[in-house]
């Protein structure tokens, strides 16, 4: 692609030498992955600054550099004020604005993003659409999946994924959008058609200055709705009316609004709700009519997730009968209230709950149908928001009968330090078992008929991270092994 075409949307930059007729074959932001003909864009990261690797990029064949700060290079250097924005705009142009050719649905909120994305994937697939999903667990393109490291990838990877989706004839892309990605501008250039807000509870305060800053980041998806560089039609904001900050979020967008909820008056609501150990039943009330849904998904939080997905489906004319069928046949998401059953007389559930609110929701759901004692195995991740640790522990002790605190990706922190942060406000009602496998074993072996064991915090994750090293660890696998051992004896 000619440099002039690539930079068409970047109006203000200063070039150290002419770029007329310069052919750009690719874009890189990592000097180790730079290829001949690339433009290398200097990005400032948490651990490294791309401005320090310009010489390496040129040695690999970069024909141009984009930077914020002075650099020395024998190739043209294009100076911009913000390389993060410029990267997104450049990547979008290089891949021929792929989100203009897709129906792009963005989901943000503290909890529920992954489940809503999977419900939508199933719903649109039932309605004979070819889908793509970008989220916490994986990237899925027309049925093919690849693992990911961040909920929302960097803007270059995003545009590359979108371009691949266009090539694979995907028509609907469902994407989880994290507060980090919004704050860092990773989704600049993404032409969202629909923005969905699930809820807002305490999380990521290790990154954000405070809860208000966390909300500000989330609200960017709605304030910037339709932030692509070309128009392609109406945009929609779908907001949980029952959620904290819902009113302010509604005020932050001028786009067409659709609300959902249970408590507050909303466009899409769940009425006559019945929850049990076998799932949920409710009357789905909507502008398109009413229909009863009987889903295997458990808990009130699952109903909220289904309402969010139903709202999106209704926007695109998916019949209520199709929505009902999809919700009633879903198998859920790995690590989201996932049952582990080996024929034991008590229940075992693995869930990703890693915030005080999500842990409370899951335990309240279990309490609705558990006839015996509730065992809770939970820890807190290292190098993350320390303020939520005592809150997590307090929820576990107050809503569980037996709380076993353990490790959960300690990263570079000492697990003992994390544990002491957790028990800051409590003195009884818990046990400390540092080894996560031993903690799971203690709970599972201690449970009796009618009890429930909740293994919380990691959900779908298949690793334990300590001092930069990840070793394989899967809560479901470990619980299943222990249950089989008990069965054999």
Rounded distance, CA 336 to CA 362, Å?
Answer: 10
In the chain, the percentage of residues whose pLDDT exceeds 90 is: 75
The mean pLDDT of the chain is 92
81-85, 222-226, 296-300, 440-444: range with highest mean pLDDT: 440-444
Task: Extract the tokens encoding 120.
Answer: 């939508």
Residue 228 has pLDDT above 60, yes or no: no
258 phi and psi angles, rounded to 5 deg: -135, 125
The pLDDT assigned to 254 comes to 82
The SS3 of residue 288 is coil
The pLDDT assigned to 368 comes to 87
12-26, 48-62, 192-206, 235-249: least confident range: 192-206
Of the candidates 418, 421, 376, which has an alpha carbon nearest to the alpha carbon of residue 397? Answer: 376
Tell me the average pLDDT across 76-80: 97
The pLDDT assigned to 232 comes to 57
Residue 46 has pLDDT above 80, yes or no: no
The pLDDT assigned to 209 comes to 61
Chain CA centroid to CA 278, Å: 27
What are the tens digits of pLDDT across the range 342-364? 989 999 999 999 999 899 999 99
Q: Regarding beta strands 77-79 and 64-67, do their DSSP bridges make them parallel or antiparallel, or are they unpaired? A: parallel
Residue 100 DSSP class: G
Q: How confident is the model at residue 202 (pLDDT cuts 50, 70, 90)?
A: low
Tell me which of 232 and 60 has the higher pLDDT: 60
What are the tens digits of pLDDT across the range 171-200? 999 999 988 888 887 888 899 999 999 998
Task: Extract the tokens encoding 107.
Answer: 């989901």
In the chain, the percentage of residues whose pLDDT exceeds 70 is: 96
204-208, 209-213, 246-250, 476-480: range with highest mean pLDDT: 476-480
Which residues fall within 8 angstroms of residue 143, CB to CB, at 6 or more apart? none
Q: Which helix (H) or strand (E) holds 70?
A: none
Tell me the average pLDDT across 409-418: 96
Tell me the average pLDDT across 7-12: 86
Complete edge-to-edge strand list for the sheet that includes strand 452-456? 338-339, 347-351, 452-456, 374-378, 402-405, 430-432
Residue 465 has pLDDT above 80, yes or no: yes
Q: How confident is the model at residue 205 (pLDDT cuts 50, 70, 90)?
A: low
Residue 230 has pLDDT above 50, yes or no: no
The pLDDT assigned to 432 comes to 98
pTM: 0.86
The pLDDT assigned to 226 comes to 55
449 phi and psi angles, rounded to 5 deg: -55, 130
Cα of first residue to Cα of last residue in the chain, in angstroms, is 67
Tell me which of 220 and 24 has the higher pLDDT: 24
241 phi and psi angles, rounded to 5 deg: -65, -25
């Amino acid at each position: 692609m000619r440099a002039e075409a690539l930079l068409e949307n970047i109006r203000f930059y200063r070039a150290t030498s002419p770029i007329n007729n310069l052919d750009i074959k690719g874009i890189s932001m990592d000097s180790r992955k730079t290829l001949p003909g690339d433009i290398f864009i200097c990005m400032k990261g948490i651990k490294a600054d791309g401005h320090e690797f310009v010489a390496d990029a040129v040695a690999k064949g970069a024909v141009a550099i984009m930077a914020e700060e002075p650099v020395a290079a024998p190739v043209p250097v294009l100076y911009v004020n913000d390389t993060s924005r410029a990267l997104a705009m450049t990547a979008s142009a290089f891949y021929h604005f792929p989100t203009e050719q897709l129906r792009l649905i963005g989901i943000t909120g503290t909890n529920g993003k992954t489940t809503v994305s999977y419900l939508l994937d199933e719903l649109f697939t039932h309605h004979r659409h070819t889908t793509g999903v970008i989220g916490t667990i994986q990237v899925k393109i027309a049925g093919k999946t690849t693992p990911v490291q961040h909920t929302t990838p960097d803007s270059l990877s995003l545009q590359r994924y979108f371009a691949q989706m266009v090539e694979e004839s995907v028509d609907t892309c469902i994407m989880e959008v994290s507060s980090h990605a919004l704050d860092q501008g990773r989704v600049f250039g993404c032409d969202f058609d629909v923005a969905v807000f699930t809820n807002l509870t305490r999380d990521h305060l290790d990154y954000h200055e405070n809860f208000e800053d966390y909300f500000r980041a989330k609200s960017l998806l709605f304030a910037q709705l339709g932030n692509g560089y070309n128009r392609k039609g109406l945009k929609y904001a779908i907001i949980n009316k029952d959620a904290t900050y819902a009113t302010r979020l509604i005020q932050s967008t001028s786009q067409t609004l659709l609300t959902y909820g249970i408590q507050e008056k909303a466009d899409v609501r769940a009425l006559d709700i019945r929850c049990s150990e076998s799932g949920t039943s409710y009357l789905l009330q909507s502008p398109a009519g009413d229909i009863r849904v009987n889903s295997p998904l458990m808990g009130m939080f699952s109903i909220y997730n289904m309402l969010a997905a139903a709202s999106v489906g209704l926007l695109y004319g998916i019949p209520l009968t199709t929505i009902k069928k999809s919700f009633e046949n879903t198998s859920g998401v790995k690590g989201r209230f996932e049952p582990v059953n080996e024929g034991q007389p008590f229940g075992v559930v693995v869930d990703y709950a890693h915030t005080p609110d999500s842990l409370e929701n899951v335990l309240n759901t279990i309490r609705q149908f558990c006839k015996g004692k509730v065992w809770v195995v939970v820890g807190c991740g290292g190098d993350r928001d320390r303020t939520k640790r005592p809150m997590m522990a307090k929820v576990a002790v107050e809503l569980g009968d037996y709380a076993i605190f353990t490790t959960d990706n300690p990263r570079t922190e000492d697990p003992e330090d994390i544990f002491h942060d957790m028990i800051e406000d409590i003195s009884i009602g818990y046990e400390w078992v540092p080894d996560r496998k031993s903690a799971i074993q203690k709970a599972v072996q201690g449970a009796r008929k009618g009890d429930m064991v909740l293994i919380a915090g990691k959900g779908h994750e298949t690793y334990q991270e300590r001092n930069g090293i990840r070793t394989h660890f899967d809560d479901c696998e470990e619980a299943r092994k222990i249950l089989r051992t008990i069965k054999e004896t």
